[in-house]
Amino acid sequence: MAETRLTMTKERLNQYYDAEKAILAGQEYKIGTRSLKRADLKTVQDAIKELEKTVDELTKKEITGASRKSFRITPRDL
């Protein structure tokens, strides 16, 4: 399942890269009376950062076979 999730996340990340390219090519333009405005660049870039972080975590999890764990330690003086 993690492999499928990793693959899907990578595909989604590639789609966001394509969207970023389209936005950088022209945020908004008009042809005659029609106009087209693309998605907000900042929103797309934030999503890219988040997806890159997710891909890194899933890749590490796949390599090590474990996820991050936290433990609570209570110091005791015996």
Q: What is the DSSP string of the chain?
A: -HHHHHHHHHHHHHHHHHHHHHHHH-SEEEETTEEEEPPPHHHHHHHHHHHHHHHHHHHHHHHHS-------------
In angstroms, what CA-CA distances link 28 with 17, 18, 24, 44, 62?
A: 18, 16, 10, 15, 41
Taking the whole predicted model, whether its pTM rises above 0.85 is answered as no
Share of the chain above pLDDT 90, in %: 35
The position carrying tokens 């891909």 is: 55
- pLDDT tens for residues 34-51? 987 878 889 999 999 999
- pLDDT tens for residues 15-24? 999 989 988 8
Domain boundary assignment for the chain: 2-64
